[in-house]
């Protein structure tokens, strides 16, 4: 646990600025912040290229756009990227608000955050202080063109990668032990790489790394190196001001495991025929790029040829809400057309991420939600993301009888006590609670988190329990068999239902998380800015990922006396039918619709007991 290192607060760096501003902010929120951890920048060290002034300047994407941008869809490089979450990563207000609180709780953890979201600032030495105060407008380019295209595979393959890689790696003092947590190795000079060699107008080295999922793993597998995994699977804090003892990412507390989930899936272990589900010119999906940067028919530059294998740089994922907020906050820095492209592309990939199967079994409807992606569904940032099932029960007049998982747009909250929510919930144990002053259990103070309290997200094809345990992505609070990439949920049918409509929804940021980012911020107004934009833009409106409907055959609900409720008055009739001694019609007792009243019906009758439906 980060905070177990000491109850003593070592005020330094941005934490010193924090104490100076606490008096007014604490009064406005009416609460005290938790005791910060005594971390240093060494606690969050990752191998790879390190901040230095000797690197040639990373030019902004505007420079690249002179050749690689068009206002139509003939060039799918710069403009799609501009509206992507990669292009907006440094302007992302959700990240900025989260980053601020993480830095409050564990000083210097911001070094890791900046490394992924603002790599230009990080490599050029503007990540210190780690509160991001030196980030400039040019740095807000996010995960810019030169960051990716100057990246080198830290695991050199003799005779495969270009020879220049070996020369660069020879000059790196600490190579990463694995891809992840922005442990990137970058060419110090403006020598670009890609999937093919193109000598003009700039130097371009061919690197297989750009067609491998490993390049995505650089930032899409995030671990907390200040926490060490124990033989019993728990996580404890390392000694202060020290590197992680093994520097192996699966020995660190998991922040995001998207890439590890992918590598443990059938997609990565031979590929899956997606039958064109994720677009592009390939049927077989075997890399991250095949879904998120699919091969398309377009030009790569204004003077270039039309190609059938051009990677669409929209990099679409779950970014349907944040781009709208960024457009409000940075109107002079973004292109509204590019923003619209990014939102539409992300909505489209969410709509293809799952399929739905519905079936009736007597007085219940079974909902099967199938994960069509190569990672858990949903995946990525653990904080705030929600996916849930919505069920609507319709009578013969077309009227809504009841609803499960209803969404309240006025509060931004789905009803989850009567449906199923898919999510990961992190938190802290007793020792961390004692050290920080926070209560034991789930918390959004992610820098302190050392326990996974829930993870019922749907695994991908090829799922193996032991493998997902090993990589730090276990299922918690649910159960999936080896090989299972779907989840089943059963809903009891209200009386008089003739049709059921089902949908799965995805939401980027929950109400609880947004309110936490506002109320727990004692440093600046980034949480309040985010909250205001959250309200203006519809409270992170959910996206309907998939939907379906089923027309029902007649069914019974156990209401023998037809008074609208299943209660003690119905019990004698049900028991008599169960024993074969019923003197009247036994149809109300046949809850599974198999023309027999048996023990299966008894279980269903018991679940119905007390129900007014």
**Cβ contacts of residue 106 below 8 Å, gap of 6+?**
2, 36, 37, 39, 43, 226, 447, 448
Segment (H or E) for 435: helix 430-436
- pLDDT of amino acid 200: 60
Looking at residue 203, its pLDDT comes to: 62
* Gyration radius of the chain over CA positions: 27
Model's pTM, two decimal places? 0.92
Q: Report the Cα–Cα distance between both ends of the chain, in Å, rounded.
A: 48
Collect the ranges in the chain with pLDDT lower than 50: 1-30
- Cα–Cα dist 137/79, whole Å: 19
Question: Could you tell me the residue ranges of all domains in the chain?
Answer: 568-608
Q: Give the H/E segment covering residue 292.
A: helix 288-292
- CA distance readout (Å), 70 to 296, 323, 344: 16, 20, 18
| Distance separating alpha carbons of residues 561 and 435, to the nearest angstrom | 59
- The reported pLDDT for the residue numbered 174 is 92
Q: What 8-state DSSP symbol labels residue 151?
A: E
Q: Which two tokens stand for residue 542?
A: 């959910």
CA distances from 553 to 365, 366, 399, 496, 608 (A): 11, 14, 18, 11, 19
d(CA 525, CA 508): 21
pLDDT tens string 112-159 = 999 999 999 999 999 899 999 999 999 999 999 999 999 999 998 877
| Residue 555: both structure tokens together | 């069914």
Q: Please report, for residues 496, 593, 598, the alpha-carbon distance to residue 573 in angstroms, rounded to integers and kept in the order given.
A: 21, 17, 13
What torsion, rounded to 10 degrees, do the Cα atoms 312, 318, 320, 325 define?
-100
Distance from C-alpha of 113 to C-alpha of 99, rounded to nearest angstrom? 7
């Amino acid at each position: 646990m980060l905070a177990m290192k000491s109850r003593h607060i070592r005020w330094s760096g941005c934490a010193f600025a924090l104490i100076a501003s606490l008096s007014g902010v604490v009064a406005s929120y009416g609460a005290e912040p938790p005791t910060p951890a005594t971390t240093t920048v060494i606690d969050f060290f990752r191998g790879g290229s390190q901040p230095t002034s000797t690197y040639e300047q990373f030019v902004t994407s505007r420079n690249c756009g002179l050749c690689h941008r068009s206002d139509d869809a003939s060039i799918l490089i710069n403009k799609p990227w501009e509206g992507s979450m990669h292009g907006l990563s440094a302007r992302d207000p959700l990240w900025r608000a989260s980053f601020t609180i993480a830095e409050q709780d564990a000083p210097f953890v911001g070094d890791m955050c900046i490394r992924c979201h603002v790599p230009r600032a990080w490599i050029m030495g503007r990540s210190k202080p780690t509160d991001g105060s030196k980030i400039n407008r040019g740095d807000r380019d996010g995960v810019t063109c030169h960051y990716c295209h100057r990246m080198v595979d830290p695991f050199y393959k003799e005779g495969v990668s270009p020879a220049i890689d070996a020369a660069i790696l020879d000059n790196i003092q600490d190579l990463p032990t694995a891809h992840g947590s922005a442990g990137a190795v970058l060419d110090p000079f403006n020598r670009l790489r890609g999937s093919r060699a193109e000598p003009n107008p700039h130097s371009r080295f061919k690197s297989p790394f750009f067609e491998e999922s490993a390049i995505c793993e650089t930032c899409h597998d995030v671990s907390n190196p200040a926490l060490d995994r124990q033989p019993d699977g728990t996580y404890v804090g390392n000694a202060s001001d020290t590197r992680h003892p093994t520097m192996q990412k699966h020995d660190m507390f998991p922040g995001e495991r998207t890439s590890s989930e992918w590598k443990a899936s059938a997609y990565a272990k031979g590929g899956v025929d997606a039958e064109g589900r994720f677009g592009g010119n390939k049927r077989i999906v075997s890399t991250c790029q095949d879904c998120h940067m699919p091969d398309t028919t377009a030009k790569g530059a204004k003077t270039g040829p039309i190609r059938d294998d051009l990677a669409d740089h929209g990099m679409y994922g779950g970014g349907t809400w944040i781009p709208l907020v960024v457009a409000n906050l940075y109107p002079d820095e973004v292109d509204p057309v590019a923003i619209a492209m990014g939102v539409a592309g992300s909505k489209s990939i969410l709509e293809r991420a799952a399929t739905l199967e519905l079936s009736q079994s007597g007085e219940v409807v079974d909902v099967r939600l199938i994960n069509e992606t190569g990672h858990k569904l949903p995946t990525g940032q653990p904080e705030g993301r929600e996916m849930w099932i919505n069920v609507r029960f319709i009578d013969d007049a077309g009227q809504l009888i009841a609803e499960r998982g209803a969404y309240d747009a006025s509060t931004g909250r789905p009803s989850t006590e009567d449906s199923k929510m898919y999510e990961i919930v992190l938190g802290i144990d007793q020792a961390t609670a004692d050290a920080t002053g926070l209560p034991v259990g789930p918390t959004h103070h992610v820098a302190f988190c050392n326990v996974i309290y829930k993870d019922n997200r749907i695994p991908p094809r090829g799922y193996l329990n032991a493998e997902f345990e090993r990589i730090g992505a276990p299922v918690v609070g649910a159960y999936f068999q080896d090989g299972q990439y779907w989840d089943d949920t059963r809903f009891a049918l209200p009386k008089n239902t003739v049709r059921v409509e089902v949908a799965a929804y995805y939401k980027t940021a929950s109400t609880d998380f947004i309110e936490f980012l506002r109320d727990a911020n004692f440093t600046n107004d980034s949480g309040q800015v985010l909250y205001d934009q959250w309200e203006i833009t519809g409270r992170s409106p959910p996206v309907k990922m998939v939907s379906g409907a089923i027309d029902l055959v007649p069914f019974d609900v156990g209401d023998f006396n037809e008074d609208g409720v299943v209660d003690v008055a119905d019990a004698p009739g049900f028991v008599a039918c169960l024993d074969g001694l019923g003197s009247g019609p036994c149809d109300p007792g046949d809850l599974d619709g198999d023309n027999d009243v048996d023990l299966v019906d008894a279980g269903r009758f018991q679940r119905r007991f007390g129900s007014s439906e």
